[in-house]
């Protein structure tokens, strides 16, 4: 087939349009996520100051404890969705809503390319493409355009760039995105190592974003500048059909572009005005997908003791009230962990009771939702063993971990809930030790949850009460946890 006869079939235009619609959502929601911890690193210790790039002007204090929530930056709703301060939950929900659409669109595009012979448009069939592309690059570098005849269908350089974006950059973004799922890399630690760890994957995902932005800018500039107006007409007829007049094509394409812009504006305004409504709608799609893809994965991490992070970040200040203070002063001698609700045998366990149960140690990576990581050895008792002792009743659906009141969370105390099957994993423990020492106060003394397939916010510190309930309505505002209630996070947290 002569490649000049390929034309632009209707499916290709639709794929191109959906892709453009998705890409801007992915970029804007990605930026929102980045703004919550606007620092990028090459190793998983995230030592303060070791970032290779940092956005924003905030400086963290060196003379007192700070938490990673203090490090979040504001971002404009023009660039990010939904914009603003610490709207990471909504940003993530947009990202994970659009990703499946974008991936399905990409797969159908590639499938159709090969089913129809359109692949010839993108994949060079002769090695001569390389010297030709070089010639073309030299021509562009001298601020000239290669002759129009070399653009049928694509100029060699253009063809190579398009092929690289479709067959290299897009899969690369998917691969580096997946490597940020705590569940996936807890089950398959080698997968994170392919990218030099989770921070490597995160940094590469960002570099991929820069390449994508660069590509979009150059792509648009070229379409407009090179061989004007033929390419613009071509771009417009992307939306019309070959038979339509150029006026109709122009009207249709303008409408299509306005639709994308209008949709973004409306989505941004809606998300900002109705954060709860958006959370509830988005999570009905996002959470089942997360459970489907990552729910069955168990953590099998075995980092070496020598991998432990020296300065592990902190999120959530220790409680300051008299109740907690008094117990801390006596080494939590009077602390009791209450296990209650829908159980056959309610329990009240002291720290010594916990220490008499079988102990498990695990050296694992912590993945905060904001982006930082750290490696530590945690020691404690398996939640499985605890459940054996308290024996949940048949009606128990959810297990809720409640913390002491922390003054920073005035409306309520911190808590997180899980379906019972989610806490059965081999590396789900109540930790009373960190790196061989009693749990330090900033990391959750006297006892905290570790559930290594989840993002950090699910791992409640300063534990004081575990409750088994039939429905989420029985905990907090009913969305599955403190951060779900007040920061609109999803409750599955596998990525």
Ligand X SMILES: Nc1nc2c(c(=O)[nH]1)N[C@H]1C(S)=C(S)[C@@H](COP(=O)(O)O)O[C@H]1N2
Q: Which residues bind ligand X (CB under 6 A)?
A: 312-316, 366, 368, 403, 406, 414, 443-444, 456-457, 459-462
Which residue from 144, 27, 8, 45 is spatially nearest to 94, judged by alpha carbons?
Answer: 27
Q: Which span (163-171, 178-186, 360-368, 390-398) binds Mo ion, by CB under 5 A?
A: 360-368
Nearest distance, CB of residue 482 and ligand X, angstroms: 7
Q: Which span (29-37, 97-105, 340-348, 361-369) binds Mo ion, by CB under 5 A?
A: 361-369
Nearest distance, CB of residue 292 and Mo ion, angstroms: 24
Lookup: tokens for 148: 């129009």
Is 146 or 476 the residue whose CB approaches ligand X more closely? 476
CA distance 193 to 190: 5
Q: In the Cβ-directed half-sphere of 142, how many Cα atoms lie within 13 Å?
A: 8
Nearest distance, CB of residue 456 and Mo ion, angstroms: 4
Residues 6+ apart with CB under 8 A from 306: none
Site string for Mo ion, 270-309 (x = CB under 5 A): ----------------------------------------
Which residue from 118, 160, 153 is spatially nearest to 136, judged by alpha carbons?
Answer: 160
CA distance 227 to 237: 15
Which residue from 71, 66, 69 is spatially nearest to 51, judged by alpha carbons?
Answer: 71
From Mo ion, ligand X, none, interface partner of 461 (C-beta below 5 to 8 A by class): ligand X
Q: Is residue 368 a contact residue for Mo ion (CB under 5 A)?
A: yes
When binding is defined by CB under 5 A, the residue of 82, 208, 425, 456 that contacts Mo ion is: 456
Q: Are strands 360-367 and 84-85 parallel, antiparallel or unpaired?
A: unpaired
CA distance 48 to 66: 11
Is 249 or 405 the residue whose CB approaches ligand X more closely? 405
Is 231 or 412 the residue whose CB approaches ligand X more closely? 412
CA distance 134 to 140: 10
Q: Is residue 315 a contact residue for Mo ion (CB under 5 A)?
A: yes
Rounded (5°) CA angle 265-235-27: 35
Q: Which span (73-81, 187-195, 197-205, 452-460) binds Mo ion, by CB under 5 A?
A: 452-460
Please tell me the count of residues contacting Mo ion according to CB under 5 A.
5
How far from the centroid of its chain's Cα atoms is residue 400's Cα? 24
When binding is defined by CB under 5 A, the residue of 94, 151, 457, 482 that contacts Mo ion is: 457
What residue ranges bind Mo ion (CB under 5 A)?
A: 315, 368-369, 456-457
């Amino acid at each position: 087939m002569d490649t000049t006869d390929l034309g632009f079939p209707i499916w290709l235009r639709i794929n191109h349009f959906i892709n453009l619609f998705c890409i801007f959502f992915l970029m804007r929601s990605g930026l929102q996520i980045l703004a919550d911890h606007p620092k990028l690193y090459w190793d998983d210790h995230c030592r303060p100051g070791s970032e290779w790039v940092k956005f924003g002007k905030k400086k963290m204090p060196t003379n007192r404890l700070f938490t990673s929530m203090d490090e979040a930056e504001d971002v404009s709703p023009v660039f990010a969705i939904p914009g603003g301060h610490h709207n990471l939950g909504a940003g993530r929900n947009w990202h994970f809503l659009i990703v499946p659409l974008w991936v399905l669109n990409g797969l159908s595009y590639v499938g159709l390319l090969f089913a129809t012979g359109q692949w010839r448009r993108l994949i060079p069939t002769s090695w001569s493409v390389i010297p030709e592309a070089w010639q073309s690059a030299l021509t562009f570098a001298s601020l000239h355009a290669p002759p129009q005849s070399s653009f049928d269908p694509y100029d060699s350089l253009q063809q190579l760039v398009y092929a690289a974006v479709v067959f290299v950059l897009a899969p690369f973004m998917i691969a580096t995105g997946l490597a940020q799922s705590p569940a996936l890399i807890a089950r398959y630690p080698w997968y994170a190592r392919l990218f030099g760890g989770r921070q490597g994957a995160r940094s590469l995902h960002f570099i991929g974003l820069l390449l994508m932005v660069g590509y979009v800018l150059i792509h648009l500039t070229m379409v407009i500048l090179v061989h004007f107006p033929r390419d613009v007409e071509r771009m417009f007829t992307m939306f019309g059909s070959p038979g339509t007049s150029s006026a109709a094509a122009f009207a249709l394409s303008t409408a299509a572009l306005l639709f994308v812009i209008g949709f973004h504006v409306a989505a941004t305004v809606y998300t900002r005005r109705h954060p709860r409504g958006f959370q509830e709608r988005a999570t009905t799609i996002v959470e089942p997908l997360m459970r489907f893809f990552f729910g069955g994965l168990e953590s099998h991490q075995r980092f070496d003791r020598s991998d432990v992070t020296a300065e592990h970040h902190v999120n959530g200040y220790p409680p300051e009230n008299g109740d907690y203070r008094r117990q801390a002063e006596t080494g939590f001698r009077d602390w009791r962990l209450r296990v209650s609700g829908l159980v056959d045998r309610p329990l009240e366990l002291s720290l010594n009771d916990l220490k008499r149960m079988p102990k498990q140690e695990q050296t694992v990576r912590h993945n905060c939702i904001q982006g930082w990581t750290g490696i530590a050895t945690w020691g404690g008792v398996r939640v499985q063993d605890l459940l054996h002792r308290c024996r949940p009743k048949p009606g128990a659906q959810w297990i809720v971990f409640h913390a002491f009141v922390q003054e920073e969370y005035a409306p309520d105390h911190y808590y997180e809930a899980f379906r019972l099957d989610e806490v059965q994993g081999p590396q789900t423990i109540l930790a009373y030790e960190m790196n061989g020492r009693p749990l330090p106060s900033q990391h959750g003394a006297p006892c905290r949850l570790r559930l290594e397939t989840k993002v950090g916010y699910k791992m409640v510190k300063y534990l004081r009460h575990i409750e088994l309930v039939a429905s989420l309505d029985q905990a907090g505002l009913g969305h599955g946890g403190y951060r779900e209630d007040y920061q609109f996070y999803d409750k599955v947290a596998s990525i």
